[in-house]
Structure 1
Amino acid sequence: MAALETWLRTAERVLWGPGTLALLLGTGAFLTVRLGFLPWRNLGWALRSVLSREARRGGEGGVSPFAALMTALAATIGTGNIVGVATALTAGGPGALVWMEVSALLGMATKFTECTLAVKYRRRDRQGQPYGGPMYVMADTLGRPGAVLGAVFALFAVGASFGIGSLTQANSISAALDTAFSLPPAAVGAVTAALALVIILGGIRGIARVSSVLVPAMAVLYLGAGLAVILGNWRNLPQAVGDLFLCALSPRAAAGGAAGSLLTSLRWGVARGVFSNEAGLGSAAISAAAARTDCPARQGYVSMTGIVFDTLILCTVTGLAICASGVLGAPEARGTDGAALTILAFSTVLGRTGAVLVCVCVTLFAFSTIIGWAYQGETAFGYLTGGRGLSLYRTVFALTAFWGAVVQLETVFRLADICNALMALPNLLCLLLLSGTAAKEARNFQIRLKAGGRK
C-alpha cells in the first residue's frame, strides 16, 4: 500500500508539474490571441446574455442555455472555491490569488473553444436530446487517432466523475456536517446517496432543473457571507490587496511560512484556479453540448461566463476574506489550512455563525458538484459503452457517494487529480489542433452580433 501511495504521489507531482501548468496557460494565451481577443471583447455581451430571459427559456431538443451553464457550474463550483483557495494562499502566499485570476482570464478562451466545438460536433439521441463532449469532437475530426484520444479522454472522465465528482465530495459533506452539527457519517452518506440518485435518474433535464435553483442560491448565500467578512475588515483591505500583487511578483517571503516566490505563487495559483473552474479539462463542454442554441459560438460565450462566476467572483471573495481578516500567517492560525482557515477568517466577523455558514456552503457546493459531475461522467461512460449501461452507472455513482462519506480518501484524492490531468492532455491537444475551426465560428458569430443579433 505504501508503494502504491508513493507511486501515486510521484505521478501526481509529474502530471501537475510545471509542464502541464505551462501547457494550460500557454493554450489559454494562444487561443486568446487566435480568437482575436473576442472572449474578452464580448464578455459584457456574454454576461448580459446569460442573465437575459431568453437564456432561461426551455424548449424541445435540449435544456436552456442558462440551465446548461448552471449544470456545468454545479460541477465546477465546489469545495475548491472554499478549500482550494485557502490551500493556495497557505502554500503559495497571497500572490497565488493573483495568478489564479490570471489563469482564469486566459482560461476564458479555452472554455469558449472547448464548449463551442462540443456544440458544433454534438449528436442527438432517439428523443432528439443533444449530447456531446470532447470525445465526440476528437472522434469526428481527428480520424483514427481522434477515436483513440476520445476513448482516453472518456475513460479518465469516468474516473474523475467517481473520484472528484462523487467520493471526495461526499467525504467533504460528511466532514462539514460532522464539524457543524455532529451528524454521523453513515447517515449523511445514506441521505446524500439517496438524494443524488433521485436527481440523476431524471437525466440532464432533472439535473438542470435542480442546478438552476441550487447553484444561484448557494452562490448568493456564500457571497453575502464573504462580502460581510470583507466589509467587516475593510481597514485591512488596502494592505491585503497590496500584499496580493507584491507577493505575486516578488521573491519575498509569504504569509503562512511559504516561500512565496513568483514561481511558487504562480504554481499554486494556476493549479488551484484550474481545479476551481476546470478550463482545459473539457468537462464543462459535456454540459454545454446539451444546450438548446442556434449557434455553437453563442453557447461558447454563455459557458465561458462560468469562469467569471466561479473564479473571478467566488474565489476572489474567499481570497480577499482570508487576506483581509489577518488570519493568514497569524500565530494562532499556524498549521491551519483548507476549510479550517476559511472558517477562521469568517469567524473574525460572523463568529460561530460564520463557521456554520462555511460548513453549510461546503455541503451545498459539494452536493452540486456531485449532481453536475453525474451527467458529465454518464455521457463519457455512454461514449465508451455505446450508450449501454447508463442506469448501472447512475446507481454505482450514487452508491460511491455513500462510501465516500464513511472512509478516508487520501488515495482517492490523488487518483482524482491524476484523472483530471489525463483528461486535460488530450483535450488541450484537440483544442490546439482545432483552434482554426473555433476561430471561424467566433468570427462568423461576430458578424451576426454586428448585424444586430445581440438578442
Structure 2
Amino acid sequence: MQEINSFLQLIDSYIGSHFWFVWLLLGTGIFFTVYLKFPQIRYFKYAIRIVRGKYDKEGDEGDTSHFQALTTALSGTVGTGNIAGVALAVHLGGPAALFWMLVTAMIGMTTKFVEVTLSHKYREKAADGTIAGGPMYFMRERLNFKLPSGKLVKSGKWIAAIFAFATVLSSFGTGNLPQVNSISNSIFATFGLPHVITGFVLAILLGFVIIGGIKRIAKVTSRLVPTMALIYFIGAISVIAMNYENIWPSIQAIFADIFTGSSATGGFLGATLAFAFNRGVNRGLFSNEAGQGSAPIAHAAARAHEPVSEGMVALLEPFIDTIIICTLTGLTLLSSGVWNEKLDNRFQMADLQILQGTNYDDTTQEGKLVLAKHINGDETLPLFTGEMKVKDGEITSDVQLIHSRSLAENVVVKQGKKPYNGSIKVQNGLVQLQEEHLGMMARLKAQFSSSSDSKKIVFEGKSLLHSAPLTTVAFTKGWFGSWGQYIVSIGLLLFAFSTAISWSYYGDRAITYLWGSKAVIWYHLIYVIGFFLASFVDTTIIWTLSGITIALMTIPNLIGLLILHREMKGEVKLFWKEYKNRFPEEKGVPVD
C-alpha cells in the first residue's frame, strides 16, 4: 500500500499538486472576472433576489428550488475544509495564507458562475424522469472539433467520460471516506465513542437519505446547512468577542505579511511568501471547489428556465463558504492565540520526525531559521536511524523530536497509559511501529478490544496543533469555555455528513451518465459500505487519490469553460435582455 501511495503521490506531483495547476485555476477565474466585468460584484444583489424566487416562472422545469440547489451545493463544499482546512492553512502558511484564501474565493465566485451557467444550459432528463446535468453534458456536446478535411471528431464524449469517471472516484475520495474518518476521529476524541459505532450509525442514516434521491437530499440539506452554519457562527463569535482586544492585531497579521510570508512567532517557525500563497490558494480551492465541476451537478436540478439565473445563485457559494465561514474560523484561530502556541497533545505518527542530536533551539531567531529551513525542505538536518532508547517514558538517546512543524517539548513515551521502557526502531527519522500496519480486519477487531490500547505505543508532549484539533482548542477560548469543543465536534459532524450526502448525488449523476439509472442502486450500496469502513480504516491513500481525481475533474472542466467563453458572454446578454423586459421598472440593471 505504501508503494501504491508513493506512486500516486508521484502522479499527483505533476498535476494537482503542481504549481501550473494552481495557476490554471486562478488564471481561468481571473480571465472570466475581467472578460465578464467583475460579475461577482455587479451581480451580487441580483443573485440574492433570484434565490428568494424573484426571477421564477410558472412551469420552470427542475427537481429543486434555487435555495435547495444552493444549500445542496453548499453542503458539498462546507465541510472539513472550513474547520480543519483553514486551521491547516494557518498552521502551514501563517496568517498570510488567509489573505490568499480570500483572494481565491473572490476569483472563485466568477468561476462558479460560469461553470454552473454552462452546465445548466446543457442538462437533460434521465430515463427515470429526474434532471441530470453537469460539465460532462456540455463537454459531450461542445468539446468536439473538425479536422481540416471537414470530418467531425467526437472527442467530447471521451473527455466527458473521463470527467464523469473522475467524479465517481472523487465522490469517494473527497465526499465520502475522508469525511467520515474526520467525524469518527472527532467524536472519539470528544466523547470516547468507538469509531466503528459512529460509522455504523451514520452509514445507516446516510443510506436512508441518499436512497430517497435529490428531492430528499435537497429537503435534508436545506434544513441542515442553515442549522450547522448558525451553531458554528455562534461558537466562533463567542471566541472572537471574548478576545476582542486581539481582533485588530489579527486582521493586521493577515495583511501585514502578504508579500513577504508570515514571520516566525511563538512555536510557529515562519513561512515564505511562496508557501503562504500556495497553502492559501490550495486550501481555498479545496474549501469552495470552484472550477472542479462538482457544484454544477447539484445546480442542474434547480427549477429555472434561464441558465444564467442559476449561475448567479452559485456565485454566492464561495462567498458564504470561504469569505464568511473560513474567515470566521481564521479570526477565531488568530484572536484566541492558539495557532502559534505549543499545547499538550498525543502525537500523530505522520507528523513526527526524529532529528539526530540535541542542540536545536527554537527560542532564538537563529535557531528558528535553521529549523524552518529544514521543515521547508531548503536545508535538511541529520535524521536519526537506529534504536531509540526509552526509560520510564523518557527518551535517553541523543535525539530531538519535530512534531507538527514545531520542536516538541516535554515528550513522554507511553505504552497504553503507562510509561514505556525499551527501544523503538527509527528509520531516516521515522518511527517504525507495527501498529501502523494493521490490516482492515485487525483494525475492526481493535475497535472492540480494550486490550489493544494497553499495547499501543504513543508519544505525548507539547507541540503545535493543526487541522480540527487546533480549531477545537480555539473554540474553548470563548464564552462557552470547555463546552466550545462540543460545538466543533457537532459542527464537524454536521458539515462532514452533509458533504457526504451531496457527493453521493454527484457520483449518482456521474453513474447515470456513464451506465444509466439502473446502475445507481449499486453505486449507492458501495458508497454506504465504503462510508462505514472508512470510519476506522486509514484513508491516507484515499486522500492522495482524491488529489488526482480532483485534478482530472478540474482540468477538462476549465479547458471547456475557456473554449466556450464567447457562448458564456452571449448567455449573459440574453439573460439581461429578458430581465429588463420582465422588470422594466427597475433602474440600474447591468448592460453587458
TM over 0.5: yes
Corresponding residue for 2:469? 340
Shift of the alpha carbon at 1:259? 3.8
**Residue type at the aligned position of 2:240:** I
Q: Which residue of 1 aligns with 2:243?
A: 233
User: Which stretch has the larger CA shift, 33-42 or 353-362?
Assistant: 33-42
Deviations 1:129-165 (A, max 9, x none): 3211001110011122211111111111100101211
Residue equivalent to 1:98: 99
Q: Describe the superposition over 1:318-354 as per-residue Cα deviations: whole angstroms up to 9, x where unpaired.
A: 0011011111212337331101111111111132111
1:85-125 alpha-carbon deviations (Å, 9 max, x no partner)? 00000101101111001011011111011100111000013
Pairwise CA distance, 1:254: 4.6
2:305 aligned to which of 294, 304, 314: 294
In the alignment, which of 184, 189, 200 is matched to residue 210 of structure 2? 200
User: Is there any run of 5+ residues in structure 2 with no aligned partner, and where?
Assistant: 145-153, 344-461
Asked if structure 2 preserves the Cα contact closer than 8 Å seen for 1:97 and 1:269, the reply is: yes
- Report the Cα distance in structure 2 between the residues aligned to 1:387 and 1:279, rounded to whole angstroms: 27
1:30 shift after superposition: 0.3
Q: Which amino acid letter does the alignment assign opposite residue 88 of structure 1?
A: A
User: Is the partner of 1:405 in helix, strand or coil?
Assistant: coil
Q: Which has the higher contact order (CA 8 A, sep 6+)?
A: 1
- Matched residue, 1:377: 507
Which position in structure 2 is the counterpart of 1:260? 271
User: What is the distance in 2 between the residues matched to 1:369 and 1:396?
Assistant: 17
Equivalents in 1 of 2:582, 2:233: separation in Å?
35
Match of 1:386 among 516, 537, 544: 516
Alignment of 1:107-146 (within 5 A): 107-126=108-127, 128-143=129-144, 144-146=154-156
Equivalences for residues 232-381 of structure 1 within 5 A: 232-251=242-261, 253-255=263-265, 257-332=268-343, 334-349=463-478, 350-381=480-511
Instruction: Tell me by how many angstroms 1:79 deviates.
Output: 0.5
Offset at 1:44?
A: 2.0
CA distance in 2, matches of 1:157, 1:181: 34
Q: Which residue of 1 aligns with 2:540?
A: 410
Q: Which moved more, 1:57-66 or 1:107-116?
A: 57-66
1:29 is aligned to 30
Structure with more of its chain in strand, by fraction: 2
CA radius of gyration, larger in: 2
> 1:399, 1:370 → 2: CA distance?
13
User: What CA distance in whole angstroms lies between the structure 2 residues aligned with 1:129 and 1:389?
Assistant: 15
Are 2:40 and 2:106, in contact at CA under 8 Å, matched by a contact in 1? no
What is the aligned length?
A: 455
TM (norm. structure 2) is 0.74
Which residue type is aligned with residue 336 of structure 2? S
Identify if the C-alpha distance between structure 1 residues 249 and 451 changes in structure 2 by more than 3 Å, giving closer, same or farther: farther
Q: 1:403 to 1:58 in 2, by over 3 A?
A: farther
Q: CA deviation at 1:175?
A: 0.8
Q: Work out the CA distance in 2 between the residues paired with 1:21 and 1:74.
A: 24
Counterpart residue type for residue 235 of structure 2? A
How far apart, CA to CA, are the structure 2 residues paired with 1:247 and 1:148?
45
Counterpart of 1:400 (choices 512, 517, 530) is 530
Shift of 1:126: 4.3
Which residue is equivalent to 1:6?
Answer: 6
Task: Map Cα deviations across residues 269-298 of structure 1 (whole Å, 9 max, x no partner).
Answer: 110011100000000000011110121000
Greater CA drift, 442-451 or 407-416 = 442-451
The more displaced of 220-229 and 245-254 is 245-254
Letter in 1 for 2:472: I
Is the contact between residue 91 and residue 258 of structure 1 (CA under 8 Å) also seen in structure 2?
no
8 Å Cα contact 1:90/1:258 also seen in 2: no
| 1:150-204, Cα deviation, whole Å (9 max, x unpaired) | 1111111100101211111111111111112111111111111111111111111
Q: CA deviation at 1:128?
A: 4.3
Among candidates 160, 164, 180, match of residue 150 of structure 1: 160
Alpha-carbon distance, 1:51 to partner: 4.2
Corresponding residue number in structure 2 for 1:43: 44
